[in-house]
Structure 1
Amino acid sequence: MANFEEQPEEHNDSKSSDATSSPEEKPSSATVTADPAPPATSEKQPPEGWTAEGLPVGPGVMGEPVNRRAEWDTGLCSCLGRNDDFWSSDLEVCVLGGVAPCVLYGSNVERIAPASGTFTAHCLPYTALYLIGDSCFHMNILAPWYSYHSRTAIRRKFNLEGSYETLTRIFGCTSGVLEDELKREQCESAFDIATHVICHPCAICQEGREVRRRITHPGYNAQAQPILVMLPPMEQTMGR
């Protein structure tokens, strides 16, 4: 009987030893190595449709920035414009640029930023600077330093090439400035000032012809809306 009672104890000891050893062996056989997570980047991703340099993506090649600007519709010295549908408007711009440049400048800004009082807010300061420059220096030398912002605004609004890029294209010169967007914009802004100071009447006339071909006058849009007129019903009589 003693031998019979000792055998289950040995069997239980073997089971307990197996049970204690098995949990230690399973993790070693079923160990899964996970790949380390990629480090989080703090760099801001560019918006959709733009490259990392902040340039718009071209429609032709994926990821190719649009570096080519459009040309002005008329040249700087094309005072009478072109013989097209806007010939009468070009003639009006030419007369205003020579007789009343303050009115032409105010009209150009009003088309770019149509708001109440835009024409007056730009025409009156231009007139004051024109009179001061004409009385002190006998020439319009102060107003161009105030009005050159309109040329920069038109160039940026319609993605037009500046004077520096135009000269580079005409003379076939290549420069690294054109490849850098920030340097090119700084250079073009300087050329906008020089264009208004040296060729002010031609500059505002070119801007006037450009905005009239691209933007209709805000007052014309308000007058062109159709008006619905309600007529009273006609008197009806019974026929005999």
Structure 2
Amino acid sequence: MANGENLEESSPLLGKVVEKADEKDTHRISTADRADAVPPPPAVRKYAEEENGGDGCDYGWTADGLPIHGSVMGEPVGRAQWETGLCACLGRHDEFCSSDIEVCLIGSVAPCMLYGSNAERLGSTPGTFANHCMSYSGLYLIGTSFFGWNCLAPWFTFPTRTAIRRMFNLEGNCEALHRSCGCCGLCVEDEVQREHCESVCDFATHVFCHTCALCQEGRELRRRMPHPGFNARPVLVMIPPAEQSMGRGV
């Protein structure tokens, strides 16, 4: 006979212990099967309507406790408007009033200098003023000499207006017309077509209102971006403490 049979014969309580252990394992397995078969219901957050203001709106919450209205990703961002209008030659009566007058004078007398300053400020690269100014001056002289008016420089300067509009997410002419009178709706709905129309409008603005376009871009850049030549960095100066001496009070 085997050793197990000897133990069962020698201990009559061993069979009951083994049966109880088998019953516990069977109960544990059946409980696990029932838990897998019927998942527990999701936890319902109490007072959800009170937290959302009681109006039944559906929005989530960030880690900082701020509500998120709508979808965060893919939500369109509204475009900003230009700080000054195209024909606002003297700008506005604010802290940039003197700068606006300076821009108007430079644009009327020497548009090449204003364009060079705008391009240098937009590129944030000091030292490029001379390159843009000389290129503009050459095109200006060729256009006025052979055609009698400045017709070549706008082909060279209108990309600056497009770059400013894209950098600061500014409203273009098509969107301004759609907002004011409701026309150009088809161009505004399609993003690719809208960008093509806005680029054409930028070019037309520089052709027919070249000086005003340069002045408007100059006022916009001076309000939004500092000149790269004046970006002074703060210097931390360590001043040693004054010499101290211990004296006996009188």
Shared fold, TM over 0.5: yes
Q: State the partner residue of 1:127.
A: 137
* TM superposition shift of 1:137: 2.2
1:83 corresponds, among 84, 88, 93, to: 93
* TM superposition shift of 1:228: 3.9
Say what the alpha-carbon RMSD is for the aligned residues. Answer: 2.6
State the AA in 2 paired with 1:203: A
Q: Does 1:146 align with 2:156?
A: yes
State the AA in 2 paired with 1:202: C
Q: Supply the distance in 2 between the matched residues of 1:174 and 1:136 (Cα, whole angstroms).
A: 37
For 1:47-62, what aligned pairs fall within 5 Å after superposition?
61-62=70-71
* TM superposition shift of 1:90: 0.3
Q: State the partner residue of 1:164.
A: 174
Q: State the partner residue of 1:6.
A: none
State the AA in 1 paired with 2:183: C
* TM superposition shift of 1:180: 1.2
Runs (5+) with no aligned partner, structure 1? 1-58
Q: Does 1:190 align with 2:200?
A: yes
Q: Does 1:98 align with 2:108?
A: yes
Check the 8 A contact 2:115/2:214 in 1, yes or no: yes
State the AA in 1 paired with 2:93: N
Q: State the partner residue of 1:200.
A: 210
1:110 corresponds, among 96, 120, 125, to: 120
Q: Does 1:177 align with 2:187?
A: yes
State the AA in 1 paired with 2:85: G
2:222 corresponds, among 212, 216, 223, to: 212
Q: Does 1:71 align with 2:81?
A: yes
State the AA in 2 paired with 1:219: G
Q: Supply the distance in 2 between the matched residues of 1:159 and 1:126 (Cα, whole angstroms).
A: 26
Q: Supply the distance in 2 between the matched residues of 1:157 and 1:176 (Cα, whole angstroms).
A: 24
Q: Supply the distance in 1 between the matched residues of 2:109 and 2:214 (Cα, whole angstroms).
A: 12
TM-score normalised per structure 1: 0.67
Percent identity between the two aligned chains: 55
* TM superposition shift of 1:173: 2.5
Runs (5+) with no aligned partner, structure 2? 1-67
* TM superposition shift of 1:110: 1.0
Q: State the partner residue of 2:28.
A: none
TM-score normalised per structure 2: 0.65
Q: Supply the distance in 1 between the matched residues of 2:138 and 2:235 (Cα, whole angstroms).
A: 40
Q: Supply the distance in 2 between the matched residues of 1:88 and 1:76 (Cα, whole angstroms).
A: 18
Q: Supply the distance in 2 between the matched residues of 1:207 and 1:220 (Cα, whole angstroms).
A: 19
Deviations 1:150-192 (A, max 9, x none): 0000000000011121122221235122111111111101111
Q: Supply the distance in 2 between the matched residues of 1:227 and 1:130 (Cα, whole angstroms).
A: 47
**After TM superposition, which residue ranges in structure 1, 4 or more long, deviate above 3 angstroms?**
224-231
State the AA in 2 paired with 1:104: L
* TM superposition shift of 1:67: 5.4
Q: Supply the distance in 2 between the matched residues of 1:81 and 1:199 (Cα, whole angstroms).
A: 16
How many residues align? The count is: 181
